[in-house]
């Protein structure tokens, strides 16, 4: 089966590698880029998981027109800036928990998501708070 979507992974630490394992096992996806703040971490993850695109500057991933979406698996204080830049670049986004570390960063993320209703936006916090409503269903 040929992959149906191309992804960039931003953050190649413990959670990033978990995502790489999962995404590499799904024939629908192809991880085209891996990015980390450390050259050594980026290179090691790219070699281990067979990713050809490697960078320490996430903006390279966002400039690649072949990339459909990004997975943000960085430390949480970085999520808001990465998210805002990713949706502005027209990329679908999955953000690892927690969504952000401050109410103002959450507001920035929500505002950016609302400005781009054509994009699929997901975040992973729902798996840790089973009793709170996490998703709003919009019927169009």
> Chain-wide mean pLDDT for the chain?
89
Structural domains in the chain, CATH included, are: 5-128 (3.40.50.720)
Output 112 or 1, whichever has higher pLDDT. 112
Token pair in block for residue 138: 């919009």
d(CA 71, CA 64): 15
pLDDT one-digit tens code per residue, 16-36: 999 999 999 999 999 999 999
Q: What value does the mean pLDDT take over residues 118-139?
A: 62
pLDDT one-digit tens code per residue, 28-73: 999 999 999 999 999 999 999 999 999 999 999 999 999 999 999 9
pLDDT of amino acid 123: 77
Continuous segment of H or E residues that includes residue 46: helix 39-49
State the pTM of this model.
Answer: 0.87
Cβ(80)–Cβ(20) under 8 Å? no
What is the band of 3 on the pLDDT scale with cuts at 50, 70, 90? confident
């Amino acid at each position: 089966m040929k992959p149906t979507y191309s992804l960039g992974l931003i953050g190649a630490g413990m959670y990033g590698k978990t995502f790489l394992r999962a995404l590499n096992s799904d024939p629908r996806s192809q991880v085209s880029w891996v990015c980390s703040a450390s050259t050594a971490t980026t290179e090691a993850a790219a070699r281990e998981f067979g990713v050809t695109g490697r960078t320490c500057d996430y903006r390279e991933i966002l400039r690649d027109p072949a990339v459909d979406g990004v997975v943000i698996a960085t430390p949480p204080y970085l999520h808001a800036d990465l998210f805002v830049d990713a949706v502005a670049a027209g990329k679908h986004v999955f953000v690892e928990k927690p969504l952000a570390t401050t109410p103002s960063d959450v507001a920035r993320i929500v505002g950016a998501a609302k400005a781009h209703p054509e994009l699929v936006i997901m975040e992973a916090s729902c798996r840790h708070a089973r009793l709170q409503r996490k998703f709003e269903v919009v019927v169009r």
